[in-house]
Amino acid sequence: MEILARGYDSTLSLRELLSGISPDKLSAALAILLDAPARVVSADGAWVMNDTHPLPENACRLPLVHDLETAGYLETAAADEAQVRAAANLLELFMQSGARYFMASEMHIEVVKADYEELQRRHAALMASEARYKALAENLEERVKEQVNTIESAHRKLYQAEKLASIGQLAAGVAHEINNPIGFIRSNLGTAQSYVQKFRSMAGQIKSSGNAALAGAWQAADLDFVLEDFPSLLQESVEGADRVARIVSDLKGFSNVDQAEEEVVDLNDCIRSACNVAANQINSRAELKLMLGELPPLRCKVGHLSQVFLNLLLNAAQAMEKRGEIRIQSSIENDQIVIRFSDTGCGIPAEVLPRIFDPFFTTRDVGSGTGLGLTVSRDIITDHGGSIEASSEPNTGTTFIIHLPINRRSP
């Protein structure tokens, strides 16, 4: 139950000031002390204590003062002024005592209420804090797991980055070392081919020279076959050397050995030129559909991005088991350039999909791919502040989506 406090400093009426005293006993005591009937009347006359005896006309009337003001009157027929004065003083003392009690109790109520409110406030704060800790305790395991996952994932990424960096360094070194010898091997092979031609032109002369010993030795050494086989051997070696050169060039791309210059271009032009380059390999296998939306000019490493597009196109072409369709879309979505390469090829099995960007990962026969094409592509896109993702449905097709930010840096 709520106790209504009036306030310790509210103004008190005469009745309230005398509320602790029995009116009958007080009246009886006053009558005996004054030796005459007496009554107490409030200042406004609304309340009268002991109204039983009518007072005579000549009754005297003394103010009863409380808190500097007249709160009521003592009316009595008594004649002795000193006695009446004493009785009034007595009543004022009662009133003062009543006021003291009233103020103390009101203040008590106020203080208790304030203390109680403060307690409730603290209690509520404690409950809230307890609930918070309870919730924290309940989620603790989950949050620890989350944290562990975050740390593990960060760790994996770091490890991956380190691995890539060291592979890149290795690749750069290897590429540099191989480049020179493969250069002169390729060149020498070409020269060797021309030398073989010269030998070949000599064969007729030797055979028709009539020198039996020479012809016999020619026969014995089976030089006809040698001259037949030598050019094809050299041709195969040339192709081999070319392949090594191509791998070295891929490796250089992977390790970013040759930093390309940046230019401001329309990526749609890039896509078109990549299509032209790959046209030979594509046309025999698939229908090419370009759906190029308008793109803002982009500052980028054109050579690198062209390489990415070419990689994706050739991959798509090679994925065709029967004649299919390759579709390239470009557009702007959420302030990013988005380019999609979709093919209707054989698709990528789900267990392989997460590894396709790993360096040296390839599903092709040994020798026909370096396993670096997509790795290099991803590094190039990442270098441009973008991202590349693949989604695939086996036997239905694969889609690569490239996101590139437009405002990577001001041109």
Partner 1 sequence: MAELDETGSKLTLKLVYYGPAMSGKTTNLMRLHDILAPDLKGEIMTLETQNDRTLFFDLLPLGFRTPSGWLVKFKLYTVPGQVVHDATRKAVLSRADGVVFVADSQRSQGINNSESFQNLEDNARRVGLDFGALPIVVQFNKRDLPDVLSEDEIRERWAAAPWPLVMASALTGTGVRETFVKLLEAVYPALDRNFSLSEKHGTDAKAFINAVTGDRIGNSG
Q: Which is closer to partner 1, CB of 111 or CB of 279? A: 111
**Binding-site member from 4, 25, 45, 69 for partner 1 (CB under 8 A):** 69
From the list 114, 140, 161, 217, which residue makes contact with partner 1 (rule: CB under 8 A)?
114
* 9 counts as binding partner 1 under rule CB under 8 A: yes
Cβ neighbours of residue 274 closer than 8 Å, sequence gap 6 or more: 306, 309, 310, 313
Strand order through the sheet with 69-76: 48-49, 38-42, 69-76, 60-66
Query: Which stretch, 67-75, 136-144, 354-362, 398-406, contacts partner 1 (CB under 8 A)?
Result: 67-75
- Residue 170 interacting with partner 1 (CB under 8 A): no
Residue whose CB is less far from partner 1, 96 or 329: 96
115 binds partner 1 (CB under 8 A): yes
Q: Interface with partner 1 includes 103 (CB under 8 A)? A: yes
- Residue 100 binds partner 1 (CB under 8 A): yes
What DSSP state is assigned to residue 3? Answer: P
394 phi and psi angles, rounded to 5 deg: -55, 140
Query: What is each CA distance from 262 to 46, 303, 338, 383, 389, in whole angstroms?
Result: 103, 9, 20, 12, 24
| DSSP assignment letter at 306 | H
Given the complex with partner 1, which of 109 and 353 has the nearer CB atom? 109
Return phi, psi of residue 258, to 5°.
Answer: -100, 105
Which ranges constitute the DSSP H helices of 208-266?
212-221, 223-254
Interaction of residue 8 with partner 1, rule CB under 8 A: yes
Give 178's contacts (C-beta < 8 A, 6+ positions apart): 244, 248
Stretch that binds partner 1, among 7-15, 162-170, 191-199, 218-226 (CB under 8 A): 7-15
The CB-of-112 to partner 1 minimum distance in angstroms stands at 8
Q: Give the span between the Cα atoms of 387 and 403, in whole angstroms.
A: 5
User: Which residue among 6, 108, 157, 323 contacts partner 1 (CB under 8 A)?
Assistant: 108
Residues 6+ apart with CB under 8 A from 60: 75, 76, 77, 78, 81, 84
In the complex, the smallest distance separating the C-beta of residue 122 from partner 1, rounded to whole angstroms, is: 14
Member of 79, 111, 148, 170 binding partner 1 (CB under 8 A): 111
Nearer to partner 1, 68 or 137 (CB): 68
- For partner 1, which is the closer residue by CB, 8 or 94? 8
State the nearest-atom distance from the C-beta of 410 to partner 1, in Å.
53
User: Is residue 53 involved in binding partner 1 (CB under 8 A)?
Assistant: no
- Rule CB under 8 A: choose which of 24, 44, 67, 222 binds partner 1: 67
CB of 59 to partner 1, least distance (A): 27
Of 24, 118, 146, 229, the one binding partner 1 by CB under 8 A: 118
| Torsion, Cα of 380, 408, 334, 301 (10° steps) | -40
Candidate list 28, 104, 140, 148; residue touching partner 1; CB under 8 A? 104
210: left (phi > 0), else alpha (psi -120 to 50), else beta?
A: left
- Least distance in angstroms from the C-beta of 99 to partner 1: 7
Residue among 53 and 122 whose Cβ is closer to partner 1 = 122
CA–CA separation, 252 vs 307, rounded Å?
A: 12
Helix (H), strand (E) counts: the chain: 8, 11
**Contact residues for partner 1 (CB under 8 A)?**
8-9, 11, 67-69, 96, 99-100, 103-104, 107-108, 110-111, 114-115, 118
